[in-house]
Amino acid sequence: MQDKDIIIAQLLQEIARLRDEVRLLKEEVARLKKNSNNSSRPPSSDIVKPEKTARKVSDQKRKRGGQRGHRKFTRRPFAPAEVDEVVRYELTDTQARGFEPLDQWHVLQQVGLPEKMYRVTEHRARKYRDPVTGRIHIAPMPDDIRKGGLLGADITAAAAFMKGSCHMSFTTIGQFFKEVMKLDISRGMLCKATQKVSDALSRPYDELVNRLPNEPLVNVDETGHHDGGKLHWTWCFDTSRYSLFRIDKSRGSKVLEEMLGEEFSGIIGSDYWGAYRKYGRLFNVRLQYCMAHLIREIRFLAEHSVRKLSDWGSELLQWLKKLFDTLHRRDELTADGFARSMGRIKAGFLRSVRRGPEHRLARKLARRFEGDRAENYFRFLTEPVEPTNNAA
């Protein structure tokens, strides 16, 4: 009888161990299923291709081009002042015999590249000799000409546009100049040209940096990248009138402190990254946490293999769906009606999120909504701010 009790106890211990192992494996599977749709991960982190959906094959194969019933769009013709050359085609006297010529024309406007796409200007400064000392003096050139070097302002700006806005490599930019413009420019010269533009922008950049702490709302986000094998962070500070970027080796709150200062009185729109929480706590700054990030995180819970978590996540998603449905109908409601509806939905969501199941993920999410912390998610209900930091 004693041997049976020992065996039963051992089996119970083994069952408990296996249950713990299954629980851990389920949580690991759930973690591996995180993607850009149910977490804060960027789309580039998705390593699983989406499932291909079966396309409906119609009985009749559709032809290429515009379909029947589609509205036709045509480009606005160039105005006469924009036309550089007019070429007329007329019938010969023999071909036109019996016809009455009209003062009307069938017009085809065609855009082409000029034979030479650049202009070379040679700037000459006369030299003078001092007959007494023998020294040579050179007549001064304007600063913008002297500092410009080989490339004028317009070509310098074009090279910087290709590098910055078009994300072209110096090799590709050089190839464009050589093959299209018939102008051979070295990679080094192109690099110097873009650096000149960067230097020229330093003054307006500094002016915006000084202006940033006075903005009423700043959406902020950051993304990592490597430079020379070392990790750096590109920060984006987006306002209603401009966007400001800063590259820094830190992802911490000190960047916010340096850019916004210790007396920032506006509102920061951000995700739940610790740097924003720390900055807000240290300097009593109002925050609006991104609701889009929150929805993705709750969607992850709703898709979890643990039933109590998935049920709870689905309940929270329903509350958020009601919230945004009401938000989109704001113009249809009176101010008092909108406030009552949102207050009721907010209270329901907070009750649900604060009474989560006994699970570490539920406790972790519920802590965000303890006491006054919850206001950092719902500030958009009473302040003129967006509920997401999508702009940044």
Residue 66 lies in a domain: no
* Residues paired with 244 in a beta bridge: 237
Residue 332 lies in a domain: yes
Same domain? For 234 and 248 the reply is yes
Residue 88 has pLDDT above 50, yes or no: yes
Residue 34 lies in a domain: no
Phi-psi region of 342 (alpha: psi -120 to 50; beta: other; left: phi over 0): alpha
For residue 281, the enclosing domain spans 204-289
**Residue 34 pLDDT level (bands cut at 50, 70, 90):** low
For residue range 192-209, list pLDDT tens digits in order: 999 999 998 999 999 999
Residue 185 has pLDDT above 60, yes or no: yes
pLDDT value at position 49? 52
Say whether pTM exceeds 0.75. Answer: no
**Residue 30 pLDDT level (bands cut at 50, 70, 90):** low
Same domain? For 196 and 232 the reply is no
pLDDT value at position 51? 57
Residue 13 lies in a domain: no
Residue 169 lies in a domain: yes
pLDDT value at position 44? 45
Give the mean model confidence (pLDDT) for residues 155-172: 93
Residue 8 has pLDDT above 70, yes or no: yes
Helix H, strand E, coil C: the string for 310-337 is: HHHHHHHHHHHHHHHHHHHCHHHCCHHH
Same domain? For 266 and 219 the reply is yes
Give the mean model confidence (pLDDT) for residues 101-124: 93
Residue 104 lies in a domain: no
Q: Could you say which of 175, 200, 225 is where a domain stops? A: 200
Structure tokens at 57: 């094959």
Give the mean model confidence (pLDDT) for residues 104-110: 94
**Cα 212 to the chain's mean position, in Å?**
19
Q: Which of 8-22, 44-58, 98-112 has the highest mean pLDDT?
A: 98-112
Residue 293 has pLDDT above 50, yes or no: yes
Mean pLDDT, the chain, rounded, equals 88
Residue 232 lies in a domain: yes
Residue 327 lies in a domain: yes
Structure tokens at 122: 């040679």
Residue 125 has pLDDT above 60, yes or no: yes
Counting the structural domains of the chain, the total is 3
Same domain? For 285 and 327 the reply is no
Give the mean model confidence (pLDDT) for residues 374-380: 93
Q: Could you say which of 289, 304, 339 is where a domain stops? A: 289
